[in-house]
Amino acid sequence: MSRNLRRRKAPSSTEELLVGVDGGATEVKVHEILRLEREEGLRLDLGSSSSSMLYDRTQRFVPVPMAQQLLEEERGELLLGAQERAEGRLVLEAFLHAIRSVAEQAGIKRLRVGICLPGVKSADGRGVVVMRNGPRLPDFLAQLEAGLAVVGLELVGPIPRLVSDGEACAQGENLGLEGLLAQVRNAYYIGGGTGIAEAFKLGGAVVDMEALRPWMRKAWQMETSSGVSLEDLASAHGMNERYAQRRGVELVPGEEIYPEERVELGDPDAQSVLREAGGALAQLVFARIQTCARAQKLQRAGPRAGRASFKLEAGTLLERVVVGQQLGRLLADPALARHLREPLEEQLGALLRGTCDPALEKAYLAGDTLRPEFLQPSLLRAAPAIGAAALCLGPARLRGGAAEASGGGPARPRAEESLG
């Protein structure tokens, strides 16, 4: 519950409610978002109304294999079966219920809604055409808008494109009162829950990973030498899954076994899982550092390099890496530091020293160790909802520093982050 509880007046017929929606892989979280005027520009914070709802699940639904999803997306012909459509309806119902609940709490029926959702978006940004851990939702916003009208809620305007979870998290960290990206120009955001969400802040603007294709791969596309994706190693869900496998038990949704709870009991499997996650995070952050440093060369390389819609300045150095969502909570826990944060910092420091690059060593190391405060865990769990709400306002309403942070450009279709 937000600290910004306020006594409400009777709403006028023209009053509108700003709503941020964080659609995850297993539940939807909806928040009233407050617009606050500050000397540095508009800032956003949580209001007093919120709701969350776990998705119901059909018993027989299994996600379509990724290779088939990607092939269908490339061909522009999605073949959704009855079970996948039924699962999609359950997701839609959860969104409708949670948004309606927030509107009823606030006593306001006119809504301005921003939504983030994982997965590869449709060409118009209003649906999801590839989803790793859930049903595909190709016409999601059209169905949601129709459903909101049926329950008596009025939208100020059509819901803008679906925002990637990484871009929404970074925007929330950039514009939220408690965010960690407001005071820097170049930074990297990584959040971990069911999957890995990523985004950058470059030259003062939040940049979605989709804008950096094809010369910057996403975490789910990057593998260790043994063929395991960095997302599976570093995400909170991936840790739970690997721990369950090592313990020889089945990972049941909603009844996951959390290795962080077993670490201090001396469980070697739990400790190993966390150390591996720290190593995967070190590899991921190091890859981002190297890519930024070599940006000019990479952007010129290959016949498809010109497809990237954002051009990075040569020799870009990151001032900060913000780790958020469940990963941020784990990284901030002092009881886990020896098994997660310290291995992460030690391995990242070793990778940087191994470059023998004086510029990188000077920028990121203090002596032989990682520069203090370079890695910063965030506990702003509502960052995705705050960021989604910010992006639905549009650059005209995000004045001053907020407008710069939004990038001020047109909406980018097919915003893609973790696949959900």
What DSSP line would sit under 188-240, residue for residue?
EEEEESSSEEEEEEETTEEEEGGGGTTTS--GGG-B-TTS-BHHHHHSHHHHH
User: Does position 242 have pLDDT exceeding 50, yes or no?
Assistant: yes
Residue 268 pLDDT more than 90?
Answer: yes
DSSP conformation letters of 389-420: HHHHH-TTTS-BHHHHHH-SSPPPSS---S--
Domains of the chain from N-terminus onward? 16-165+383-406 (3.30.420.40), 184-377 (3.30.420.40)
3-state secondary structure of 156: coil
pLDDT per residue as tens digits for the range 144-178: 999 999 999 999 999 989 999 999 999 999 999 99
Percentage above 70 pLDDT, the chain: 85
pLDDT of 3 > 50? The answer is no
Give per-residue pLDDT as tens, 77-112.
Answer: 999 999 999 999 999 999 999 999 999 999 999 999
216 band by pLDDT with thresholds 50, 70 and 90: confident
- Stated as kind and residue range, the H or E segment containing 265 is none
pLDDT reading at 303 higher than 70: no
| 96 neighbors 43 (Cβ within 8 angstroms) | no
User: What pLDDT digit, counting tens, does each position of 313-338 carry?
Assistant: 777 899 999 999 999 999 999 999 99
Burial class for 225, CB neighbours closer than 10 Å (0-12, 13-18, 19+): exposed
d(C-alpha 163, C-alpha 391), whole Å: 8
pLDDT band at 185 (very low <50, low <70, confident <90, very high): very high
pTM attached to this predicted model: 0.85
Answer yes or no: is pLDDT of 11 > 70: no
In one letter, which amino acid is 310?
A: F
Q: Which pLDDT belongs to residue 253? A: 61
Longest dimension (CA), the chain: 65
> What pLDDT does 394 receive?
78
CB-based contact 21:160 (threshold 8 Å): no
End-to-end CA distance of the chain: 26
Q: Is the pLDDT of residue 280 over 70?
A: yes
* 349 token code pair: 């420091």
Give me the chain's average pLDDT, please.
86
Lowest average pLDDT, out of 118-122, 147-151, 186-190, 413-417, goes to 413-417
Q: Which range among 124-133, 139-148, 199-208, 295-304 shows the weakest confidence by mean pLDDT?
A: 295-304
